[in-house]
Amino acid sequence: MNNKLFAQMRAASRNLVKKPPLDTNKVIQDALKNASAMTQAAQAQMSGFSQANGMQHLRTPSEVPDMLAELSRTFGHGGAAANEPAVLLPGTFSDGSFSNRAGTRSYKLYVPSSYQADKPAALVVMLHGCTQDPDDFASGTQMNALAEETGCLVVYPAQSRQANSSRCWNWFSDVDQKRDQGEPSIIAGITREIMDRHSIDPAQVYVAGLSAGGAMATIMGTLYPELYAAVGVHSGLPYASAHDLPSALAAMQGQLQRQNKPGKAIPIIVFHGDQDHTVHPTNGDELMVHARDAAAIMAVEPGRVPDGHTYTRTMHKHADGKVHGEHWVIHGAGHAWSGGSARGSYTDGKGPDASREMLRFFATHR
């Protein structure tokens, strides 16, 4: 890869801290234009650079422009949802907005028809992936329909195009990995606002997300263990797995550096396809480290969805048998929400049903 492209990559990394995300995205896009003209000799140079910097798992030099494209979308989300009719539900799906010193974000809140102000309910915070929005994510995960079944409320914070032109949560930005700063402070603020305005059981508040949203869900659970009782991560990354553009690329490809994680081991359920070429499945393994270390018993259960995917479910249990962590590896699945509806983007209807399993896991943790 030529020197100009590397200079642009470094500039993008510096801009994550010094300039707004829109400026950084422009640098990345400029780098992509330059990358399209790479020669065979430049590719050989990139191969040497990757090995010298311990990035042996980068797929091939010729695929580096594709990986940059993935990061410029931050998780490679592109395409459109299937054109299917929307499902009408009896609850309310309303708009809201929250602001603090870190900025303003809108959100959508689903309140099931069974909600009663005198009966505290559970709350699930759902963080969408890149290029998605609350409506798309709600349609794909079918979480609102499950809220009708279980009686929980579901809130979908929305990333803004001003904060990231591809609507990616900025999981790889240093300020967005700190408690009471950046995007974590906004998401926590939205959570508390819903708790203040509705009858929510504070012991039953959970956070989950897909891809960039999954990485941010990990951040939220790590930074606010007193707020969230458990975390669900689909195709995401561990806390502090990146701090700039090059480290984000490396982390997405499975080049992870073990971090000294703050706080205690929080209950977590993780889903990851073993054919995910956007976020390497190694990230799912790393997400389970704390749960594995805190557990006394490990149980492995293979399974198959009728006419769908096979999977391996690994459970990490305490001595009393309570499951502290679950890791679902979905065989043959890529970078998409397992068991989701084609009405939303980035879903795989062959299952297992990640939404239902997450709610089942959440219900066991208070």
Write down which residue in 41, 72, 103 finishes a domain. 72
Tell whether 48 and 153 lie within a shared domain: no
Give which of 187, 183, 132 is closest to 157, Cα–Cα: 187
Residue range 13-32, pLDDT digits in tens: 444 444 444 444 444 444 43
Distance CA 87, CA 239 (A): 35
Tell whether 60 and 194 lie within a shared domain: no
Cβ atoms of 207 and 220 within 8 Å: the answer is yes
Tell whether 28 and 132 lie within a shared domain: no
Tell whether 65 and 133 lie within a shared domain: no
Distance CA 170, CA 177 (A): 9
User: Does a structural domain hold residue 152?
Assistant: yes
User: Does a structural domain hold residue 86?
Assistant: no
Tell whether 266 and 194 lie within a shared domain: yes
User: Does a structural domain hold residue 188?
Assistant: yes
User: Does a structural domain hold residue 79?
Assistant: no
Tell whether 51 and 98 lie within a shared domain: no
Half-sphere exposure of 75 (CA within 13 A, CB side): 31
Q: How deeply is 272 buried, as exposed, middle or buried, from its count of CB atoms within 10 A (0-12, 13-18, 19+)?
A: buried
User: Does a structural domain hold residue 81?
Assistant: no
Cβ atoms of 306 and 107 within 8 Å: the answer is no
The residue to which tokens 């054919």 are assigned: 275
The CA-atom distances, in angstroms, between 289 and each of 167, 261, 267, 270, 317 are 29, 10, 12, 12, 13
Residue range 239-278, pLDDT digits in tens: 999 998 789 889 999 998 766 555 578 999 999 999 999 9
Residue range 226-237, pLDDT digits in tens: 999 999 999 999
Tell whether 9 and 126 lie within a shared domain: no
Please tell me which residue, 216 or 3, carries the higher pLDDT value. Answer: 216
Cβ atoms within 10 Å of 165's Cβ, excluding its own? 21
Please tell me which residue, 204 or 34, carries the higher pLDDT value. Answer: 204
Tell whether 62 and 100 lie within a shared domain: no
User: Does a structural domain hold residue 64?
Assistant: yes
Tell whether 216 and 123 lie within a shared domain: yes
CATH number at residue 217: 3.40.50.1820
Please tell me which residue, 58 or 98, carries the higher pLDDT value. Answer: 98
**What pLDDT is recorded for position 262?**
58
Tell whether 46 and 141 lie within a shared domain: no
Range name among 54-68, 93-107, 123-137, 298-312 with the lowest pLDDT average: 54-68
Residue range 77-118, pLDDT digits in tens: 443 444 566 678 999 999 999 999 999 999 999 999 999 999
DSSP 150-171: H--EEEEE---TTT-TT----T
* pLDDT of 72 above 60: no
Cβ atoms of 144 and 154 within 8 Å: the answer is yes
Residue range 288-320, pLDDT digits in tens: 998 999 899 999 999 999 999 999 999 999 999
What tokens were used for 44?
């050989």
C-alpha angle with apex 364: 302 to 319, nearest 5 degrees? 70
For the chain, the first-to-last Cα distance in angstroms comes to 51
Antiparallel, parallel or unpaired: β 92-100 and 103-111 = antiparallel
Distance CA 61, CA 63 (A): 5
Fill in the DSSP letter of residue 42: H
Give which of 341, 271, 344, 331 is closest to 305, Cα–Cα: 331
Cβ atoms of 70 and 76 within 8 Å: the answer is yes
Please tell me which residue, 33 or 291, carries the higher pLDDT value. Answer: 291
Tell whether 198 and 326 lie within a shared domain: yes
Distance CA 217, CA 230 (A): 10
User: Does a structural domain hold residue 85?
Assistant: no
Output the CA torsion sign for 258, 261, 267, 270: negative
User: Does a structural domain hold residue 60?
Assistant: yes
Question: Does residue 79 come out as left (phi exceeding 0), alpha (psi in the -120 to 50 range) or beta?
Answer: left
Tell whether 51 and 200 lie within a shared domain: no
Angle at which helix 64-72 crosses helix 21-35, to 10 degrees, equals 160
**What pLDDT is recorded for position 87?**
73
Count how many domains the chain has. Answer: 2
**What pLDDT is recorded for position 359?**
98
Write down which residue in 37, 72, 107 finishes a domain. 72
**What pLDDT is recorded for position 23?**
43
Beta-carbon contacts of 356 under 8 Å, excluding residues fewer than 6 positions away, are: 146, 339
Q: Name the residue range of residue 354's domain.
A: 92-362
